[in-house]
């Protein structure tokens, strides 16, 4: 029998990563941050100075990249042997990831890599199509969302706390643009997966969201 899966899908900044990591720790399950796979591909393409509109060139990079993930307490990602962890979180990387993620052959190439994370005793998988495409048979599915304004505020605060200069208006525009791209693409768009429970975290604390998700699984 395959291991249990809890999928947490939703738009950028909804709190998926924060909540997924905490819930995986509480349950003692594995954790898949699927966005970091698309982000790693984006970094590989940026480093190769690829033309992002050249789908075949992007696929070639996806086919050849060697990724190693340690999704433990602190995420550690190696791309072709180099530690790229510190580069994963930037807005440039996130926006580039959403461009390459829109290409159907790219998604097909990265599908099995994500399925391979399903291991005993269970998996918490965070992304955009975890409950709809990658693990449609997951027994537990959450769609975690929040208003674009609240998500932009969170991202702004996160960058300022890291000492990174940020512009709230620009972040809001980028979040809205990413929402549009992720929701309107033809393949594996961001949707509320069938059977998912929707949680709007706009007015909930991180702990309240964790409790709500834990009560679903328990």
Ligand X SMILES: Nc1ncnc2c1ncn2[C@@H]1O[C@H](COP(=O)(O)OP(=O)(O)OP(=O)(O)O)[C@@H](O)[C@H]1O
Ligand Y SMILES: Nc1ccn([C@@H]2O[C@H](COP(=O)(O)O)[C@@H](O)[C@H]2O)c(=O)n1
Instruction: Name the site residues for ligand X (rule: CB under 6 A).
Output: 10, 12-18, 35, 94, 154, 158, 201, 204-206, 209
The full 3-state SS of 113-137, as one line of letters, equals HHHCCCCCCEEEEEECCHHHHHCCC
Query: Which is closer to ligand Y, CB of 28 or CB of 115?
Result: 115
Judge whether 81 is annotated as a binding position: no
Cα four-point dihedral sign 14, 18, 19, 21: positive
Rounded least distance, CB 58 to ligand X, Å: 21
Neighbours of 155 (CB within 10 A): 20
CA dist 67 and 142 (Å) reads 27
Rounded least distance, CB 54 to ligand X, Å: 25
Q: Are 88 and 43 in contact (CB under 8 A)?
A: yes
* 117 φ/ψ angles, rounded to the nearest 5 degrees: -75, -10
Judge whether 195 is annotated as a binding position: no
Query: Which is closer to ligand X, CB of 13 or CB of 193?
Result: 13
Q: Are 7 and 136 in contact (CB under 8 A)?
A: no
Q: What does the block give as tokens for 53?
A: 């509109």
CA dist 81 and 32 (Å) reads 20
Query: Which is closer to ligand Y, CB of 182 or CB of 201?
Result: 182
Residue 38 touches which of ligand Y, ligand X, none (CB < 5 to 8 A by kind)? ligand Y
Rounded least distance, CB 151 to ligand X, Å: 7
Judge whether 24 is annotated as a binding position: no
Judge whether 17 is annotated as a binding position: yes
Residue 158 touches which of ligand Y, ligand X, none (CB < 5 to 8 A by kind)? ligand X
Query: Which is closer to ligand Y, CB of 40 or CB of 210?
Result: 40
Judge whether 15 is annotated as a binding position: yes
Give contact residues for ligand Y (rule: CB under 6 A): 12, 34-35, 38-39, 94, 97-98, 101, 127-130, 178, 182
Residue 62 touches which of ligand X, ligand Y, none (CB < 5 to 8 A by kind)? none
- Tell me the HSE value of 137 on the side-chain side, using a 13 A CA sphere: 6
| Known binding residues for ATP | 10-18
């Amino acid at each position: 029998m395959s291991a249990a899966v809890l999928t947490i899908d939703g738009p950028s900044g909804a709190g998926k990563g924060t909540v997924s990591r905490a819930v995986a720790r509480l349950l003692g399950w594995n954790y898949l941050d699927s966005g970091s796979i698309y982000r790693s591909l984006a970094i590989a393409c940026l480093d190769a100075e690829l033309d992002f509109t050249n789908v075949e060139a992007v696929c070639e990079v996806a086919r050849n990249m060697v990724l190693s993930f340690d999704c433990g307490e602190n995420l550690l990602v190696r791309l072709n042997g180099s530690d790229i962890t510190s580069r994963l979180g930037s807005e440039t990387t996130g926006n580039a990831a959403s461009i390459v993620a829109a290409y159907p052959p790219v998604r097909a190439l990265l599908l099995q890599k994500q399925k391979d994370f399903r291991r005993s005793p269970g998996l918490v998988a965070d992304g955009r199509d975890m409950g709809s495409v990658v693990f449609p048979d997951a027994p537990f599915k959450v769609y975690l969302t929040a208003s674009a304004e609240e998500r932009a505020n969170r991202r702004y605060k996160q960058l300022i706390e890291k000492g990174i200069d940020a512009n709230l208006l620009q972040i809001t525009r980028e979040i809205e643009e990413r929402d549009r791209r992720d929701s309107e693409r033809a393949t594996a768009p961001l949707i509320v997966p069938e059977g998912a429970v929707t949680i709007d975290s706009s007015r909930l604390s991180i702990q309240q969201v964790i409790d709500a998700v834990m009560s679903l699984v328990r």
